[in-house]
Amino acid sequence: MAKVPADIPAAPGALPLAGHLRQLLRDPLGFVSGLPAHGDLVRVRFGPMTIVVVCDLETTLRVLRDDRIFDKGGLLYDRSRVVLGNGLITCPHADHRRQRRVLQPAFSSERLSRYAPVMTAHAREAAEQWHDGQIIDVNKLMMQLTERIIAEVMFSDALAPAALSTALDDLGVVIPGIIRSMIMPPQLAWLPTPADRRFRRAHTRLRATLGEIIAERRADHADRGDLFSAMLSTAAASREDDDGPLTDTEAIDQAVSFFVAGTETTSSGLAWALYALGRHPEICERVRAEVDEVLGGRPGTYADVPRLELTGRVVTEALRAWPPAGWLLTRTVARDVRLGGHDLPAGTTLGYSPYVIHHRPDLYPAPDRFAPERWDAAHRPRREAFIAFGFGARRCIGDQFAFAEVVLALAVLVARWRFEPLPGPDVRPSVAAGLAPHRLRMRVADHR
């Protein structure tokens, strides 16, 4: 573990052994939000581990731009790599460029146009299952919706209904297991508890299922229009250049990564957007009017996404206010470097927070106010100040996929239902690896 320079200011209140763990566990968002008051770089200690947290935009952008020096790593990524493998999300710089080149065609506009009808169809199916006045568990239902969308987008008809149900059940065990392993102390992360045994069985079974699909796809060479076909066909085409094809293990790693990323963070973004519209019914009515005008009752397509301007601004503002992909992410310094006026040795763990950047009042006036209008052309913040999908070479490869999915699903759900908050205190973020609404339940009222 690299020795962090003593001239970097430390966050106050550290305890001798636990460091800042008590503050972090008591109020994680409040803790990280207070760090910029102590400097652009701040030392934070979690038990024996010290992290240098980057708090200002320009230094954060430098870290995100230069992934050769500031490589994917640190506790969160090291833990998730054990489960996700060496896929695009978790792989180090040395592997990233090749993987990105091989996989990028799977997320082309032409491919996204094929995926959009799947997104809309599953959203319409979900919307038809509720009844007027029903109280719904928003987190659970949005997770189920995004699971079914990503499953069909990835596999089309490759899984029989029973196998699909098993795969989705396994995914429902794997995702909490990944989050649990990322936030637990290292000595407790992999204890053979009943939950850990369930996780290991589900993880093994899910990878085996994906391996069987890969073997079938490699044998028939057919393009079925899904993400798996796109991934394997572009990987096969790469035999003609220096990249080389994906091995079966690499293909499984990518599939697990897409499966996890395509459900957890997307469902949280959609849930936050519904929560915000429930708290701001006047904005919800404007969104509904836009959906009626643009779609006129027909299913939305990928070409409609930019035309649903207000809906898109609502989604962007929800992702700003509650960035679901992570409230504290880490990088590892690959070689000695000077950053923010300080000399950092190789091996230093850096942290950065999309939540902190998105709530800086110098970048976003009144940052705690939900204000979709801040994304109007006349008021739009700096493009670089929005890092919900990352920035630079490691920006999320599926950012346009996820944005289109949330916009199209939100359009379907709002056209059919009003989402009303229940009495009681405001919903708080549930802080784990990402940000999701904590126990978000809402009443749906039939709009028709």
CA distance 359 to 351: 16
SS3 category, 371? coil
Cβ atoms of 318 and 375 within 8 Å: the answer is: no
Task: Give the angle 423-413-141 at the CA atoms, nearest 5°.
Answer: 65
Q: Exposure string (b/e) for 80-90, b if CB count within 10 Å is 16 or more? A: bbebbbbbbbb
Residue 396 labeled ligand binder? yes
β-pairing verdict for 329-333 and 337-339: unpaired
Go through the chain and tell me how many residues it has.
Answer: 448
SS3 category, 173? helix
SS3 category, 21? helix
Which long-range CB contacts under 8 A does 92-101 form with residues at least 24 apart? 93/67, 93/68, 93/334, 96/67, 96/72, 96/393, 96/394, 97/393, 98/243, 98/244, 99/246, 99/250, 99/254, 100/393, 100/397, 101/238, 101/243
Cβ atoms of 325 and 354 within 8 Å: the answer is: yes
* Binding site feature residues for heme: 396
Q: Which residues are annotated as a binding site?
A: 396
